[in-house]
Amino acid sequence: MILILVFLFGILCGMVSIHFVFWLAFIALEQLLQRVVKRKEEDAIKHMDKSTAGDAASTPKVESICQMACFDDDVVHSVIPVRAVLFGTTMSVYLIDTRTETRALDRGGACTDRLIAKIMTKSVDSHVTKISKFQRHANRAERCSPMRGTCLVLSCRSGQPLFLVDPLAQFKRRQQKVYRWQASTDSHHMPPGPNVEDSLGYSGVCRGTGIGSLDAEAVPADVGDGATLDCENWKVVLFKMATRREVERWYNLLQENSQSVEWCGYIKRLTCVDTFNLVAARLYFANTGTSSLRDLLVRKIRRKLRKVSNKLPKHMNGQIRLNRLELGEEIPLIDSVCEPVISPNGELEFDFNMLYRGGLTFSLCFNITYRGINVPDITFNVKVLRLSNQMRLSVGPPPSAKVWLSSPQTPHLQLEFAREVAECDGFLYSLLKLLPDMSAIMTTVVKVKLFEDMVLPSMEDFPLPCISYSPPSSEVSDEGDMAGGDSSQSRIDCDPSL
């Protein structure tokens, strides 16, 4: 009996021990999982912080050493060496003091430029101007203009200042003018000395430390005899960069253009970043302002639809029309480009894989008459979701001006359809509204009819890109020599390039 009790007690102790061991194991496992999850969450938070910091650091910032001059009434005033910094929508202008820089270098210290002006890009208009050496200028002692060549012009918009004004510095300057005027009217009082002005807080204003003012020591000697150059009253300002490329870069950055935002977003969405796709995408974005590509596709699609309309079954007349075509923002991506094959007669041919991620939309309108009965118009709004295929490109030798495209098979095509039936009364309208989904049938029709000329051995022709128009070149001499002595300036159309 005792042995049985001992045996049962041993079994009970063993069960309790096993249960306790499993309990400890589960607790340890739970703690381990919690630590792993917590560590992953911390890593994710750190990654998000780094990504946020990277995005913040990737804010576009452009910096250039240039020359600045007032250009009010088309008159070039004295030139000031500055450093222009564009960060976001604010353009900061720093004065380059050559004498201070020389002294700092002699002492082995660092050179610090002084902020003299800030410009909000949304409150100014910008364009590029060619300044002649005979342009009117303020310095009558010199025959030629102090600034010439291709310059960036910033002008204030109606009712808005050109430079951002420091309210504190402006208030102190006004107080200083009032104080000096009162001191000059009281002839029996001596004008206040420098210590009095320093105690009143005017010393920084007299020395031009506020935004929008320059002191006489920092301004070059040819600026003028005045002790202070006030930028607040400027309406137009000139910036002369080191190269024409810098001028074009600043001009494009100062423009409020949605294409720049679309282009940056497109680059971030690229899955295959290489030279060919980037150049092709850039050329596409450069031509989005024109309708040449859209008109070419419209002509080709309508020609194919006319062929389909002429092959309608017996007792059925009518036509299929293309009402609308929008290209979208995506362009085809090229991948796996094979080595080109060059024939003895100079013909070039190579294969590649093409992927189009969708975006093109168009509308097809069916205007059909069956046995003399007018069928209500049916409109299909089609959106291309995805198009991929292996393509072959062939280019003949000169004087051929065509590119021939084909593929060994029909493309892999994904479409989205939205059917619309013209409003009318009658049995046919009610019947057409009850028709089932015809997306599969329309996808087959589009694939077979619109791409039948692009399946080998047939090939579809496209015109070779031809540079038939180019914007005015900026390769004219920066000296701006003119036939006569009259002052002149020629405005350059910088869209898409200088």
Question: Which phi and psi angles does 76 have, rounded to 5°?
Answer: -85, 120
Q: Which helix (H) or strand (E) holds 293?
A: helix 292-310
Q: Where are the alpha helices (DSSP H) in 344-460?
A: 427-433, 439-445
Alpha-carbon gap, residue 298 to 200, rounded angstroms = 74
Listed by start position, the domains of the chain span 61-100+111-168+233-254, 259-289, 301-463
For 496, phi then psi, to 5°, come to -95, -15
Instruction: pLDDT tens for the chain, 498 residues: list them.
Output: 777 877 777 788 877 777 777 777 778 877 777 777 677 666 656 655 554 444 444 455 788 899 989 888 888 888 889 999 988 888 888 888 766 544 544 444 445 677 888 888 888 888 898 988 888 888 888 888 888 888 999 888 887 778 876 666 666 767 777 777 777 776 544 444 444 444 443 333 334 444 554 444 444 544 443 334 567 778 888 999 888 888 888 888 887 677 777 777 777 777 767 777 888 788 777 766 677 778 888 888 888 888 887 877 777 777 888 888 888 878 888 888 888 898 888 889 999 998 888 888 888 887 877 777 777 777 888 888 888 889 999 998 888 888 888 888 888 888 887 777 655 555 555 555 555 555 666 666 677 777 777 788 888 888 887 665 555 555 544 444 333 334 333 333 333 333
Distance CA 144, CA 489 (A): 14
Question: Which runs of E-coded beta strand occur in 38-190?
Answer: 61-70, 80-87, 90-95, 114-120, 124-131, 149-156
Give the contacts of 307 (CB within 8 A, at least 6 positions apart): 449
The whole-number pLDDT of residue 163 equals 81
pLDDT of residue 467: 60
Backbone φ, ψ for residue 436 (5° rounding): -70, 175
Torsion angle defined by CA atoms of residues 11, 16, 21 and 26, in that order, rounded to the nearest 10 degrees: 130
How is residue 205 written in tokens? 């204003």
Q: Domain 61-100+111-168+233-254: give its CATH code.
A: 2.30.29.30
* The predicted structure's pLDDT at residue 480: 41
pLDDT at 239: 92
> In this predicted structure, what is the pLDDT of residue 293?
79
Specify the pTM.
0.53
pLDDT of residue 168: 65
Question: Would you mind telling me the total number of residues written for the chain in this entry?
Answer: 498
The span from the CA of 340 to the CA of 393, in Å, is 10
In 3D space, the residue among 424, 447, 327 whose CA is nearest the CA of residue 367 turns out to be 424
Rg, C-alpha atoms of the chain: 37
Burial code (b: 16+ CB inside 10 Å, e: under 16) for 437-446 equals: eeeeebbeeb
Q: What is the pLDDT of residue 218?
A: 44
